[in-house]
Structures are given as C-alpha cells and as structure tokens.
A = this chain, B = another copy of it.
Amino acid sequence: MTPREQTASPLAAITGTPATRDGARPHVVIVGGGFGGLNAAKALADAPVRITVVDRRNHHLFQPLLYQVATAALSPADIAAPIRRVLRKQDNVEVILADVTAIDAANRQVVFGDGRLEYDYLILATGASHAYFGHDEWEGVAPGLKSLEDALTIRRRVLLAFEEAERTTDLEARRALMTFVVVGGGPTGVEMAGALAEMARRTLANEFDRIDPATATVILIEGLDRLLPPFPATLGDNACQTLESLGVRVRTRSMVTHIDAGGVTIGEERIPARTVVWAAGVKASPVAASLGVELDRAGRVPVNPDLSIPGHPEIFVIGDLASIMKRDGQPIPGIAPAAIQGGKWAAANIQRVIAGQPSRPFRYRDLGNMAVIARNEAVVHARGIKLTGFVAWLAWAIVHVINLIGYRSRIQVTTQWLWSYVTSQRGARLITGEQSRETRER
C-alpha cells in the first residue's frame, strides 16, 4: 500500500490526484468563505488553476452588520449569501461544505473528519472567534458575536430579559433583567451598546405595562482609558459622549474579573445583570495550530511579507488568521478590508509563482476605520479626515450597503433601514430557538 492509498477517502477519491502531477492545472484549495477566501477565489477567476473553496457553513457572512441581527434590526438572510450562489458563474471553482480539522502541510493535504483533499496551493482564511482570556467558562453567560447563531442567541436573551422583567414582581430581579452589560469598547462593543440603548428607548417604548424599557441600563466596560482604541482620541471621546447621551454608562479603565448568570464583577464592585455580551477579545481559528509554525499570543500565524508561511511557499494565510505588520510596525487590523486585500494579494502571488515569477510583499492600503453608534451617529477616520454625527453615519450606511454581497441583500437591507429609520421599529423582534431551555437556565 502506498502512502497515497492510505490517505484515500471518498472525498480524496472524488477530488482526485492534484492535476499538476498529470501536467494539468494546479489545484488551489481555499479554506474559508469569508471576505478573504471569497475575494481570493474571485481574483483567480481567469487564472489557469482549479479552485476548491471549503467552508463549514454554506454561507458567506457579512460580519460588520452582525450586531444588527443581534439587536433585531435585520434578519440572518439579509447579511448572508450562499457561497455556491456567489461563485456560481465562475467555471474553475468548486464549493464543498466541510469542517477542516487540520492541515497536513508535509503531504499537502487538507484534513476533514471524513476525508482529505490534496492541494498544490493553499489559502488559509478561517478567521477568528472570540476569546475569553483564559475564562472559557464565561462563554455560556456572555456570548460573543461571530456567527449567526451567536447573534440569534443574543437577540433571544435580550428580548426575553424584557419579557421576564415585565412578568416578575421581584424588584431586584427586575433591575438585573433590565441591565445589559457589554464587555469591550472596540467597534463591536460600541455598536452593540448603542443599538441596545436605542432598542430600549425607541423600539420597545410604550409596549409594556409594568416596566418602562427606557429605564433599562446599558453598561459598556472597557479596560483601556478610552473607547475605540484604533481611532484617534477625539473620535473615541465623541463616541463616548454620544453613547452617554443615549443613556449608556461607559466604564473605561475597568477590568472584568468575574462573570456568572447573575452579573459581572469589576474588581470589588458587583453589577447584577442577566444579559452580558462579550466583545472584548478574539482568538484565531484553531486549525492554524496544525501548520507546525509558531503562532502569536492570539493564535494567529506570523506570515512572510508575501503572506506565505515560513518553509511553505505554497501556503498563504490571510485575514484575521494572519499576523502581519504595516510598514509603521503596527499590526494590520482584523477588519474586512484587510482580509479582502489579503485574499486578492495571495491570489496574485499564486499566479506569479505559477508563471515562474517571484512573489511580491503584501502592501496594505489603509482605507480607514468606521464605527456606527446610533441612528445619525457614527465616527469615521480615513486618510486623516475625521467625521462624526450624521455625515459619518451616512458614509457608514453607504459603504456597508455597497459592500453587501448580492443584489437581493442590498435591496432588503436598504428597505429595512429606511423602514426602521422612519418608524424606529426593528423588523426581526423574534424570540426563537431554544427558548424554554434559556428560560429554565436562569
């Protein structure tokens, strides 16, 4: 039995021997259908390669708007598009739904639970999920915001908290039910806190009899001395003031030391709260560990300047999974534009290598940062220009609608936003899923 036969599996059998060994087109495997992976696949549309995109979900997710699903403004389908559908017109690509458990770099194979897939070139773009800094036990009580399931869990908990507050006569329990804590003052935390405050004050106002949702307390906790660390200080201050005008209590220089189903502890102080959202840390996808290279503290892969990894010029790592510095020595941030650019760059480098040319070092183009706080309120920092308030909000909305993948999503999201803007309502206020279990848990 040869090693080849040993690794044979149904999947390897369909996918077959890498074509180069037959003198045909090289096989590029892209793991991850996020911003990085999808853009890499598209950039290779006219390249002389066969491409297989592997993802454990059937959909690309527009993560920047995930907080709107968590706060009942959008439906999951508004911000997700089937990967097959997105790539349907590209002839040289195949899409497989499978969970990649490891990379066997020595044998140039991607490993699934039930098979292996051989590659000539690999683009690894599996992204990151949230990290609890060694407190994984917090995950159950303080969900993060990375997948559609995460967003629906948060939506269910937030809406149930108001319903339970309406029913209880225990005033202390009611106060804890109407206290919402967001941990982490980066863009996601700011967006969640603002959206929660708006939902309580505008959307739910006048719909309850025993509670006034507008008296709900939203607390945003950040360990550093100000919000939005990636932005200039004046914009962080602007976000802080805007949030406070919406009634959000912003707590900077505060480290969370404990979280349980009853609330959050900051040092000696206990904040009773039944709903906690985690927006504080990320860790890279665990598949990186199988590459055999040393990872950074967040589990990311330190890549060569051309986005390949040391010792394996055929493996490229991009997006949130890669650790790479800008020319100024600062890390390239884990945001969608960086993943998109990385995907295109890795695709271009693969084409150069195939053509016998040397690969080129990644040049990251900083398009700036934007974060939305509330209706008519956002902060934008791009090319030295700082915007706040309505102008920033409009820029944010336009950029996000334009970049949504799929004609349908754009129409749906724009319709929803116009409707929400006019009515202050949220279109997806549904408590679905494991409701009974959730209720029992607390």
Contact = CB atoms under 8 A, between A and B. Distances in A.
B436 A99 contact: yes
A208 B87 CA distance: 11
B429 A148 contact: no
Contacts of A431: 57-59, 97
Contact of A209 (B94, B148, B429): B94
A10 B169 contact: yes
Interface stretch (A70-78, A138-146, A277-285): A70-78
A428 interface: yes
A97 B167 contact: yes
A168 B206 contact: no
Contact of A13 (B169, B208, B432): B169
Using C-beta atoms within 8 Å of the partner chain, give the interface range for chain A.
35 or more
A208 B167 contact: no
Contacts of A57: 431, 435
A75 B13 CA distance: 37
A169 B77 contact: no
B412 A148 contact: no
Nearest to A12: B169
A11 B430 contact: no
A133 interface: no
A427 B77 contact: yes
A98 interface: yes
Nearest to A74: B77
A84 B207 contact: yes
Given A85-B425, A94-B209, 5 more contacts: A11-B169, A59-B431, A84-B208, A408-B425, A411-B415
Interface of A: 10-11, 13-14, 56-59, 75-78, 80, 82, 84-85, 88, 94, 96-99, 148-149, 152, 159-160, 163-164, 166-170, 206-210, 408, 411-412, 415-416, 419, 423, 425, 427-433, 435-436
